[in-house]
Structure 1
Amino acid sequence: MRATLRWAHSDLRTHRGEALFLVLATAGIVASLLLATALFGYATNPWQRVFTQARGGHVWIHTGPTAAADKLASLDGVESVAGPYPTASAILTSRGARASVELRGTSERPAVGRPLLTSGHWLDPATPDGVVLESRLARALLAGPGDTVTVPGTARKLTVVGVADSAEPRYRPGGEPGLVWALPAAVPGPGGQVIGLRLTDPDDTDYAVQRAVTLLGAGAIGEVSTWKQARAEAQGDNRLLGQVLGLFGLGALVAAGLAVHGAIGTRIRGHLRDISVLKAIGFTPGQVVRVFLLQHIAYALLGAVAAAALTQTLGRRVPGRLGDAVGVWQGLPGHTVALFAVPVGAVLFIGATTGLAAWRAGRVPPVPVPRPAAPAGGRPPGLARRALGLRLPPALVLGWHKAFTRRLRSLATVARLALPLLLIVVALSAWTTIDRFHSRPEQTGLPTALTVHADAGLTDRETRTVLERDPQVAAAYPGVEVAALVPGQTATIALRGLGTRQDPYPYTLAEGRPARGRDEAVAGQGLLDLLDVRIGDWVRMTVGDQPQILHIVGRSIEPENAGRVISTSLDTLRENDPRLGPTLYELRLRPGADPDVVAARLTTAGNGHLDVQAVTNPADGLSALRGVVVGLIVVLALIGLIELLTAIGGTVRESERDLLALKAIGLSPRQITAITVTATGCTALAAVLTGTALGTPLAHWLIDAQSRSSGIGAGIAQGPSPTFLLLFATAAVLGATALATVPATRAARRRLADTLSAVG
């Protein structure tokens, strides 16, 4: 045991940098996997907790004010119902913030879909104008218990008496209205009603919606939302962040395992004589294997324990979503198991790869085998001889020859070094794609910057006059968005009519062509998947009791409503249903215009009749991903550095036996150094080219696959520019050659006696 510890200590002193990088890389890998676990728990558990405690409804159906919605309680499979409650649409303002809301009248706290109060108290008849706000809506309005919110254009004021969590789809600016619970008397002139159904079998949702539509009639149904849609919306970007962290964490773990495997293999080749001596003095093959195995498991264990401890103690202090996720995750039942299982799994994986490499050390014979004095690669190939005949510098030719002499070993080294570089290219592509949403939103399905809703106080002509008068408004596209029942009547989708044939809306198309003719439309990926249709198909949907039949001629990139959107011109919708008129206006601003400034100016110009909202950019919720990408790149760079140090060490050790021959033919120490540096540079260049060539299409495929599954649709992936990739490749190669210069110089200046002992 003492001899084993001495060997391990001597090896640690020789490879301190490599050991440090391995510990840091393992810590980064385990931390990323733990954060991914936390984000997955944070994405799913809070909503599930609210849904369970609130006894949330599996289906929420909005109907007309005269529909007999109470009949739905008698449907088979319906366990209990919430409502029906009268509803009315309104705009609320508070402290300069505005939000579209749904006022829901209820005299008692519901038993199904029960709002969970987070502050304040429930509605009280003693406060007839009191309301309870859904928590996300309350944050948007900067309102809490005791505050007053107003209804623009009227003298009406409402007092906030409570804030509550709900398992229904939450408020989204410019999209889903916020929920406001009020006494029935505080909901004047209700324009509809809503009823929630709690089912005995949650998977029976689609069938329950079909039966509800059959019972009430398609014309009575306004909108349908299900618990699955609410869960997906609640998970949102947190699940995506968890997937990114998990994917890169696993990829980095594989890269680290391969780097350790290569490092041990190279070290064994460089210490064959020492290992033989150990066996000659009594070391068994198992003891030799344990020397390498225990040493590297100790490194991995140190990094894993450090990552787990830091995540546990400091994780919740990380600003933003990651800190919130860790704080919630630490209170979940499976937290302790995950905190133990993830580091153990990472250490076991690194231990397995270490064992495979260390097994070779156990097979080294106890009698040293003299290494050949001549280079193992034999005579230089014809290409190298011709290059020398052209009077190219011998150092460059021999360095290239050294780098690729042993094809299998050289390919393995290039592959191990290319893997972390490949993952870095994928991470950079994710960063570039997010930047594209901000820098070029018109290419990612966001051609407009503001959405304007006008109340009954302004006509269409007056509204367009106010909008087009602003000097920074380049175009105003009138439109309407309604909920439509899909074929089969199992869900509702968003049907949009934007722009006119004379002034068409600039949709961002990924496939097909724009909708120019009558009854032509473009659809999002989510809608195509939901209806199982393709470009060229005709679809029939129902808006109230009015059918709409549209021909899909293109696929648009749709960041909203999970891509479940079909869009055509306002003219087409009005031809099919003359009752439809513009209810919103999408504004395209001039380059350099500040959306917040324009919104404030338009709100003032509208004298309280205009509700101006900035278009939600999906990349706003992914701001935490930037920090994640930076951290992942650092971890991957450490792994690449481990592999690079291994490759340099192997090249330097193999060049020692050629040192006498190179000096005998007249090469100076500087030229001998250049051979090793060139070999390292060629290996790094091959790895960079491989990683870039494979990483760029892989990044596009991964990003498009994720966007396709989220409903946005493929076509948003954006890789780094060729100039940036060229700079990245140049920096990697120059860094590798600089790193190889010092050990190569020391080896080239070794004394002949040392060289003879190394060769012998």
Structure 2
Amino acid sequence: MTALKGREPTSDVRLPPGGRDRPRRRSTRPTTRRGPLAGVAVGGAAGRRWAQSDLRTHRGEALFLVLATAGIVASLLLATALFGYATNPWQRIFTQARGAHVWIHTVPFADTRKLARLDGVESVAGPYRTESATVAVRGSRASVELRGVSRPPSVGRPLLTAGHWPDAAEPDGVVLESSLARALLAEPGDTLTLPGTARSLTVEGIADSAEPRYSPGEQPGLVWARPSAVRAPGGQVIGLRLGDPGDTDYAVQRAVTVLGAGAVGEVSTWQQARAAAQGDNRLLGQVLGLFGLGALIAAGFAVHGAIATRIRGHLRDLSVLKAIGFTPGQVVRVFLLQHLAYALLGSVAAAVLTEALGSRIPGRLGDAVGVWQGLPGHTLALLAVPVGAVLFIGLTTGLAAWRAGRVPPVPVPRPAAPAGGGLTGLARRALGLRLPAALVLGCHKACAGRGRSLATVARLTLPLLLIVVALSAWTTIDRFHSSPERVGMPTALTVRSDGALDASAVRALLLDDHRVTGAYPGVEVAALVPGQTGTIALRGVGTRTEPYPYTLAEGRTARGPDEAVAGQGLLDLLHARVGDWVRMTVGDRPQILHIVGRSIEPQNAGRVVTTSLDTLRQNDPGLSPAFYELRLRPGAEPQRVAAALASAGRGHLDVHPVDNPADGLSPLRGVVAGLIAVLALIGLVELLTAIGGSVREGERDLLALKAIGMSPRQITAITVTATSCTALAAALAGTALGLPLARRLIDAQGSSSGIGAGVAQSPSPALLLALGAAAVLGAAALAALPAARAARRRLADTLSAVT
């Protein structure tokens, strides 16, 4: 167009003889109308044809981009669903039940009526008399807290999901908290027995509660009963609903001061209940969100690289588009709209599939999607997440397409020399050593054009890095199952006695089973932290002659008197570290301990300090074991050993396996597998882009290679070697960067959850080697066919490509 603008149109006007003017004859050639929308019309039609032609040429790449976008958006939507599922159900129950922000367990004689007059206390629930007991139904047993409540309270009200509240005509009727009912498989109408007594209770209803849920061996189940059913009260409990939930710590401190530290047994707050209710769902949401965002960034870079490579390979075509009337903005819009269409198609497909089939996913993910679909912000999130993904991909596409708009309308001749320059000294020496020329030239080609090669390696490294992180998460979960003793669970069973057998008889009974290699007596009490703003678990397990096998991440084991090890959650709560002395209060007695080590503690959010039973007996010589932690021989099945011990105890022993926190993370394996598939698709798109660019860059060297006598097979090997070297460099970089990043991320998550750093496990060298080999061999296989086609091109086609 630039060359044509300076020429004037010719005219068919001729003067007749005699000089008289004759009418001008109209030209039969078509005239071009130059209206303001003429270029747009031409550009729109030609742009559609260009987009259609490009789609036919790159069908596989377009399909992979659509599938990768769909996987990314689906993972982000599932992460949003898990976050909503983790927070909103508990919040809904807490709001509907007018839950108490603080629950305080006290001794029976404490005057709890004073708490209603504290500043900031809006209303109270109770006080209610409580009794610790063990209930059994159909062979299942659980430790419970019987709470004497005559009628549903206005604060902390149980929300009935089945049955009804017992009336005066049903003195032994009770209502079970829903998590306890699920553990016992109990329904309204079932009869609960209290082992060791002649008493029985009838289940009249099941209710949801915003208080901490039942956890075997850690948190007793909650049972609401008539006051007459609480026959041996061991304490009382009162709930405080505050005007400002942010003043919870201050309210607890004031309450303990008013009642006296000796009168307070245990304190639980709404933050602890919410964290326990969220459980592993929030972690699953964080993992999905982290990998979804990482995959989205990787996909954006892959699209950017694909467009940049395509622009370098179609400079002449872009110049032709400019010459026929395309403006720079129209050229940019061709690329932008094309890839936005891919992103939009993938995002819409992900949103539709998640909405239609998400609730049918088995397990926790399906439950999360089902609950999320009924939440108020569901529609907004369903629109915002796909729109955000499309906009991000559009941004990266626009940055790359902007370069296409800058292509001049007159093609610029390609430089005579390749972008990487001549052979390096290393390459010439390698050829002098008679190494295969295809191998040497392929490695040289991968390293030539350093900026472009580094950008390709960086784009391919990102998905491989995320795959290494995902494999590390998978390996860490497997470690919890295969080697629980290395992640804070050296024992497999916890045994509690009903008191009918003395301590020596219980220990002898336990060690009589040949599958039990160690029985560590222990006791756990609630202790007030300094400042009296909450309670922690003070645990005395093992003796100095037979110490408990801690799993230490820092420091050493507790060997001497007053020495203890603590979990990460306790150290964070007390702002302490290994080597400090900490003071806590157990009842009305102070306990001062020297923290000599940090243990990996998966229970009670890490707010546990553990010492020997002998140390606790120094303050209370009459302290007897409340439970036994059992260590089993390798290969012994905890369920079978538990059944055998319960049978040997003739109903006097309550045996249950130690909870493994990885049990709640089982859905994470399927999530990790899906994310690896999405990241593999993104890596595949980047490989296809790199292969296409390498083939096009090699076209101008084709004549020279054939001139020196290289066969098509050797020329093909050059491109395959160059692509394989690029994949190998990306695999090495992804592994080198992914392993420390994965350890940091997993340890950071462990520290935030209270378990503590030191649980991260790297994938095995064989698995990492398999990942690298798959990347290199896959790259070589993908490059073989297009490289072979290019190597067999006719010389005339090659001449037209390089001119």
- Are the counterparts in 2 of residues 373 and 759 from structure 1 also a CA contact under 8 Å? no
Alignment correspondent of 1:742: 785
In 1, Cα distance between the equivalents of 2:327 and 2:366? 50
- The answer to whether residue 141 in structure 2 is matched with residue 112 in structure 1 is no
- Letter of the 1:122 partner, please give it: W
- Helix, strand or coil: the match of 2:547? coil
Q: How far apart are 1:531 and its partner, in Å?
A: 0.3
Alignment correspondent of 2:86: 43
- The answer to whether residue 765 in structure 2 is matched with residue 730 in structure 1 is no
- The answer to whether residue 299 in structure 2 is matched with residue 256 in structure 1 is yes
- The answer to whether residue 436 in structure 2 is matched with residue 409 in structure 1 is no
Alignment correspondent of 1:199: 242
Alignment correspondent of 2:749: 706
- Letter of the 1:317 partner, please give it: R
In 1, Cα distance between the equivalents of 2:419 and 2:213? 68
Given candidates 496, 501, 513, the residue that maps to 2:544 is 501
Q: How far apart are 1:66 and its partner, in Å?
A: 1.1
Given candidates 329, 350, 364, the residue that maps to 1:286 is 329
- The answer to whether residue 569 in structure 2 is matched with residue 529 in structure 1 is no
- The answer to whether residue 263 in structure 2 is matched with residue 220 in structure 1 is yes
In 2, Cα distance between the equivalents of 1:89 and 1:71? 25
Superposed, 1:108-507 pairs within 5 Å as 108-507=151-550
- Letter of the 2:246 partner, please give it: D
In 2, Cα distance between the equivalents of 1:368 and 1:189? 95
Show structure 1 runs of 5+ residues with no match. Answer: none
In 1, Cα distance between the equivalents of 2:712 and 2:415? 22
In 2, Cα distance between the equivalents of 1:89 and 1:473? 29
Q: Which has the larger radius of gyration?
A: 2
Q: How far apart are 1:724 and its partner, in Å?
A: 1.4
Show CA shifts across 1:390-412 (max 9, x none). Answer: 11111111101111101111110
Alignment correspondent of 1:580: 623
Q: How far apart are 1:324 and its partner, in Å?
A: 0.6
In 1, Cα distance between the equivalents of 2:300 and 2:119? 56
Q: Which is further off, 279-288 or 680-689?
A: 279-288
- Helix, strand or coil: the match of 2:666? helix
- Are the counterparts in 2 of residues 447 and 508 from structure 1 also a CA contact under 8 Å? yes
Q: How far apart are 1:417 and its partner, in Å?
A: 0.2
Q: How far apart are 1:519 and its partner, in Å?
A: 0.3
Number of positions where the alignment pairs a residue of Structure 1 with one of Structure 2: 760
TM-score, normalised via structure 2 length: 0.94
Alignment correspondent of 1:565: 608
In 1, Cα distance between the equivalents of 2:227 and 2:621? 33
Show CA shifts across 1:306-349 (max 9, x none). Answer: 00000111110111111111111111111110000000000000
Show CA shifts across 1:56-96 (max 9, x none). Answer: 00000000111112221111111110011010111111122
In 1, Cα distance between the equivalents of 2:645 and 2:553? 33
- Letter of the 1:137 partner, please give it: L
- Letter of the 2:346 partner, please give it: G
In 2, Cα distance between the equivalents of 1:276 and 1:213? 81
In 1, Cα distance between the equivalents of 2:113 and 2:653? 36
In 2, Cα distance between the equivalents of 1:59 and 1:377? 70
Q: How far apart are 1:139 and its partner, in Å?
A: 0.3
- Letter of the 1:596 partner, please give it: Q
- The answer to whether residue 136 in structure 2 is matched with residue 93 in structure 1 is yes
In 2, Cα distance between the equivalents of 1:73 and 1:677? 79
Q: How far apart are 1:576 and its partner, in Å?
A: 2.3
In 1, Cα distance between the equivalents of 2:773 and 2:692? 22
In 2, Cα distance between the equivalents of 1:140 and 1:626? 24
Show CA shifts across 1:359-399 (max 9, x none). Answer: 00000000011113432222111111111111111111110
- Helix, strand or coil: the match of 2:634? coil
Q: Which is further off, 267-276 or 730-739?
A: 730-739
Alignment correspondent of 1:629: 672
In 1, Cα distance between the equivalents of 2:132 and 2:210? 20
- The answer to whether residue 515 in structure 2 is matched with residue 511 in structure 1 is no
- Helix, strand or coil: the match of 1:465? helix
- The answer to whether residue 567 in structure 2 is matched with residue 545 in structure 1 is no
Show CA shifts across 1:103-140 (max 9, x none). Answer: 00011111100000001001211111110000000000
- Are the counterparts in 2 of residues 374 and 658 from structure 1 also a CA contact under 8 Å? no
Q: Which is further off, 278-287 or 128-137?
A: 278-287
- Letter of the 2:57 partner, please give it: T
Q: How far apart are 1:567 and its partner, in Å?
A: 0.3
Alignment correspondent of 1:716: 759
- The answer to whether residue 638 in structure 2 is matched with residue 595 in structure 1 is yes
- Are the counterparts in 2 of residues 174 and 614 from structure 1 also a CA contact under 8 Å? no
- Letter of the 2:758 partner, please give it: G
In 2, Cα distance between the equivalents of 1:155 and 1:139? 25
Q: How far apart are 1:722 and its partner, in Å?
A: 1.3
In 2, Cα distance between the equivalents of 1:187 and 1:613? 26
Show CA shifts across 1:251-273 (max 9, x none). Answer: 00000000000000000000000
- Helix, strand or coil: the match of 1:658? helix
- Are the counterparts in 1 of residues 188 and 206 from structure 2 also a CA contact under 8 Å? yes
In 2, Cα distance between the equivalents of 1:145 and 1:618? 30
In 2, Cα distance between the equivalents of 1:727 and 1:310? 33
In 2, Cα distance between the equivalents of 1:132 and 1:184? 13
- Letter of the 2:643 partner, please give it: A
In 2, Cα distance between the equivalents of 1:378 and 1:481? 73
In 2, Cα distance between the equivalents of 1:472 and 1:723? 34
- Helix, strand or coil: the match of 2:698? helix
In 1, Cα distance between the equivalents of 2:611 and 2:771? 44
- Letter of the 1:151 partner, please give it: L
In 2, Cα distance between the equivalents of 1:625 and 1:174? 25
Q: How far apart are 1:557 and its partner, in Å?
A: 0.2
In 2, Cα distance between the equivalents of 1:189 and 1:734? 72
In 1, Cα distance between the equivalents of 2:754 and 2:640? 32
Q: How far apart are 1:456 and its partner, in Å?
A: 1.4
Show CA shifts across 1:5-63 (max 9, x none). Answer: 11000000000000000000000000000000010000000000000000000000000
Alpha-carbon RMSD: 0.7
Q: Which is further off, 538-547 or 575-584?
A: 575-584
- The answer to whether residue 53 in structure 2 is matched with residue 10 in structure 1 is yes
- Letter of the 2:779 partner, please give it: A
Q: How far apart are 1:200 and its partner, in Å?
A: 1.0
- The answer to whether residue 563 in structure 2 is matched with residue 520 in structure 1 is yes
- Letter of the 1:197 partner, please give it: L
TM-score, normalised via structure 1 length: 0.99
In 1, Cα distance between the equivalents of 2:322 and 2:788? 33
Superposed, 1:555-704 pairs within 5 Å as 555-704=598-747
- Are the counterparts in 1 of residues 420 and 450 from structure 2 also a CA contact under 8 Å? no
- Letter of the 1:492 partner, please give it: T
In 2, Cα distance between the equivalents of 1:609 and 1:618? 28
Show CA shifts across 1:702-744 (max 9, x none). Answer: 0000000000000000010112111211121111111110111
